[in-house]
Structure 1
Amino acid sequence: MAVDTERLRQWLSNYHNPDVAYRDILRVTNQYRGLHPEQDVYTFNDGTRMELVNLSGTIPVRYRGAVYNIPICIWLIDTHPKNAPICYVKPTPDMSIKVSMFVDQNGKIYLPYLHDWLPNSSDLIGLIQVLIVTFGEQPPVFAKAKDSDMPYPPNSFMAPGGSYNIPPYPPTSYPPSSTGFGGYPPYPPSSNTSFPGYPPYTAPYPPYPPANNFGGPSPGVGTGTIKDEHIRESLLTAIEEKLLRRMKEQFQQNQAELETLKRTQEELKQGKAKLDSILSRLEKEQNDLDKNITLLKDKEQELNNAIERISNQETIDVDDAVTTTAPLYKQLLNAFAEEAALEDAIYYMGEALRCGVIDLDVFLRQVRTLSRKQFMLRALMQKCRQKAGLSV
């Protein structure tokens, strides 16, 4: 059945996160064609009634090599995905609920996945996959007994791979109990409670049918009297299922803790490597800093000695102080000084022309002469630098 997306968006308009709920529902309906969205009124334990969207239909469950269509209904709370959905098994009139640690007598489903629901990592696809695996180990329904005590016909509801017409699902078909099955609290919209243990046994459940009767003939009930061996078998089955569940939960918890410890160990190793690298770099920088401090102290001492030596000497003539070590350098120094003097002379000739001290003809004649000398001096300096191996 194709999903009416416009109607679905209208149903989800009052949800806190309508876009997230819309995407989750479409992912489910695209992968599991037996489920489709509906809107109905849900009644909570305190009597509150609210229009909610649910996913009704069947999911394929493999049991002993055959595939069975198990009817379920998943109610999405208006705070989805912040809070876990509320799930039910919806048997047909010809089927009965098989009560277990996962399903109570009203069909309400209890799973660790729902109890440990995380908004950022849990979703409807993961929930349905957990339901398929759980129901594959413990089927939630079995066929009712008939007067003729004959097996179901091949095309009945529980035939492998078969189909059925889903009966109407009124909101009060599964009235939530005050305590839930086995002492488990029901799932209100903001359920964050934990599962306590089973309460004392008060009323026996009907004997469970053998596993190979799932979807086949109903269990022989004879006169309908519940015998002591039936009660004993029921108690032993409940205890066995409870112990198995506790063992699985303990194993999963230990495995999760082990994985967490492994990740923590890897993070600590990576942190240790980073700290070792940082310490090594800091030690190297500290050694370089000590060397630089020693060098600066030596240079400071040299400067202090030079200042003291110069302060004790007489005034030095700059012209006498500037000497060269070779005739080539002296020629380069003289050419540079003369070229700088010509540059100043040309500047002051321009100032004299601007002030009217000399006329234009005198200015041009003198500037031409000075520029020619300046050009020759620059060529001489370039040749001297090449000869001395200096940069040009």
Structure 2
Amino acid sequence: MAGVDESRLRQWLSKYHNPDVALRDILSVVSHYQGLVPVQETYMFNDGTPMDLVNLNGTIPVSYKGNTYNIPICIWLIDTHPKNAPICYVKPTSDMSIKPSIFVDQNGKVYLPYLHDWAPGSSELLGLIQVMIVTFGDQPPVFARPKESEMPYPSNSFMPQPGGNYMAPYPPTSYPPTSAYGGYPPYPPTSNMPYSSFTPYPAPYPSYAGSGFGGPSASVGGTGTIKDEHIRESLLTAIEEKLMRRMKEQFQQNQAELETLKRTQEELKQGKMKLNTILSRLEKEQNDLDKNITLLKDKEQELDKAIERLSNEEEIDVDDAVTTTAPLYKQLLNAFAEEAALEDAIYYMGEALRCGVIDLDVFLRQVRTLSRKQFMLRALMQKCRQKAGLSV
């Protein structure tokens, strides 16, 4: 990654919708696969629209029959990355030929379930390259061109060079099915590509001229015939990967739903405890209210009886009503009445002095006499209350 000019790469990605995400994905890829280098070139879409895009150009290591080969590829990042899947090509050198299969057409364009099921957030460039390495390890996308039949790469194939404008060719829509594959059904077209949709996967050819496949420094020996077991292993690998991915997504979804249900259960438990507390308090208040209502009804009945009894009795003499039941109480009552009378007398003596009815000497002499008697009466009342056990 030391050879990557990050500032220039940021400038290339400035027109992308998510430049930070694209930069992070590219740096992650070049740190793991130093054979890939980011380059900005012009890509021509099928509708004739040109666009300056960043691509990862170079080789990836692929293991085949115990040997490691460098497979040349080119990965174009759409400006909406990572919302839409990249566009991938195999770029054979002059001594190689493309080996068409269900994953690579005769023009070198790559078709993978990983690209078809590309999902933002779960799909990334590093995972795409790893899938390509595994897939190409089962079905090599190129083979070494025999020297006697060496021919230049077809002019209509996609072979971008730095700084050039190139038209991405239309891949063939179908190939005649062979008995080895029985008309393998194509993948359905994807809906997340903004400019052009994938074409169906072409059926592979049964065999190709050549003795093997390889990268710039290696070749694979053999007849180049794709056997039934190769197709079977590739299909099993693709199906297993897709099932594992869907199982993982389903597991994560179920896990999230389970966490939500657990939180909802805890909230319901807390709500139940609060409701039980409120119901207990209301029940206690209801019991207290019933008791108070019963008590008030009893008191009301007592009042009704007292009123009825009083209405049936004769009138009561006021003097008889205040008659004391003991001599001590009678003495206390008389002393209280006499002390109250002396209080009134002293008040009216002051009024007489103010009006000039009596002179000052008479007022003082009478008030002194009355006050002394009032003091004696108050002392007598206090002593009577002590004897009777009343508050002083």
1:190 is the counterpart of 2:182: no
CA distance in 2, matches of 1:58, 1:211: 14
Following superposition, the deviation at residue 3 of structure 1 comes to 1.4
Following superposition, the deviation at residue 128 of structure 1 comes to 1.7
Pairing partner for 1:175 from 160, 169, 175: 169
Aligned to 1:102: 103
Residues 180 and 299 from structure 1, CA distance in 2 versus in 1: closer, same or farther, beyond 3 angstroms?
farther
1:216 is the counterpart of 2:208: no
Indicate conservation of the 8 Å contact 2:173/2:200, yes or no.
no
> Higher mean Cα deviation, 241-250 or 60-69?
241-250
Indicate conservation of the 8 Å contact 2:42/2:166, yes or no.
no
Indicate conservation of the 8 Å contact 2:56/2:76, yes or no.
yes
CA distance in 2, matches of 1:129, 1:138: 14
Following superposition, the deviation at residue 177 of structure 1 comes to 2.0
CA distance in 1, matches of 2:254, 2:122: 21
Structure 2: tracts of 5 or more residues without a match: 151-158, 176-184, 308-392
Superposition pairs of residues 2-151 of structure 1, within 5 angstroms: 2-147=3-148
* 2:55 aligned partner, one-letter code: N
Residues 173 and 204 from structure 1, CA distance in 2 versus in 1: closer, same or farther, beyond 3 angstroms?
farther
3-state SS, counterpart of residue 107 of structure 2: coil
Fraction of identical pairs, as percent: 46
Q: Could you state the TM-score of these two structures normalised by the residue count of structure 2?
A: 0.57
Residues 25 and 180 from structure 1, CA distance in 2 versus in 1: closer, same or farther, beyond 3 angstroms?
farther
Aligned to 2:273: 281
Following superposition, the deviation at residue 61 of structure 1 comes to 2.4
* 2:109 aligned partner, one-letter code: K
CA distance in 2, matches of 1:295, 1:308: 20
Superposition pairs of residues 244-323 of structure 1, within 5 angstroms: 244=236, 247-248=239-240, 251-252=243-244, 255-256=247-248, 259=251, 263=255, 266-267=258-259, 270=262, 274=266, 277=269, 281=273, 284-285=276-277, 287-298=279-290, 300-301=292-293, 304=296, 308=300
* 2:194 aligned partner, one-letter code: S
Following superposition, the deviation at residue 140 of structure 1 comes to 1.9
3-state SS, counterpart of residue 120 of structure 1: coil
Following superposition, the deviation at residue 63 of structure 1 comes to 2.9
RMSD: 4.5
Indicate conservation of the 8 Å contact 2:88/2:109, yes or no.
yes
* 2:117 aligned partner, one-letter code: D
Superposition pairs of residues 352-371 of structure 1, within 5 angstroms: none
* 1:285 aligned partner, one-letter code: T
Indicate conservation of the 8 Å contact 1:83/1:119, yes or no.
yes
Residues 210 and 247 from structure 1, CA distance in 2 versus in 1: closer, same or farther, beyond 3 angstroms?
farther
3-state SS, counterpart of residue 51 of structure 2: strand
* 1:65 aligned partner, one-letter code: G
CA distance in 1, matches of 2:202, 2:233: 11
Residues 283 and 11 from structure 1, CA distance in 2 versus in 1: closer, same or farther, beyond 3 angstroms?
closer
Deviation string, structure 1 residues 313-360 (Cα, Å, up to 9, x no partner): 99xxxxxxxxxxxxxxxxxxxxxxxxxxxxxxxxxxxxxxxxxxxxxx
Deviation string, structure 1 residues 85-124 (Cα, Å, up to 9, x no partner): 1111111111222222221111111112111111222221
Aligned to 1:326: none
CA distance in 2, matches of 1:291, 1:192: 71
Following superposition, the deviation at residue 45 of structure 1 comes to 1.6
Indicate conservation of the 8 Å contact 2:58/2:74, yes or no.
yes
CA distance in 1, matches of 2:56, 2:191: 17
Q: Could you state the TM-score of these two structures normalised by the residue count of structure 1?
A: 0.57
3-state SS, counterpart of residue 139 of structure 1: coil
* 1:206 aligned partner, one-letter code: Y
CA distance in 2, matches of 1:287, 1:194: 65
Residues 148 and 95 from structure 1, CA distance in 2 versus in 1: closer, same or farther, beyond 3 angstroms?
closer
Indicate conservation of the 8 Å contact 2:213/2:221, yes or no.
no
Superposition pairs of residues 304-343 of structure 1, within 5 angstroms: 304=296, 308=300
Following superposition, the deviation at residue 237 of structure 1 comes to 6.7
Indicate conservation of the 8 Å contact 2:43/2:168, yes or no.
no
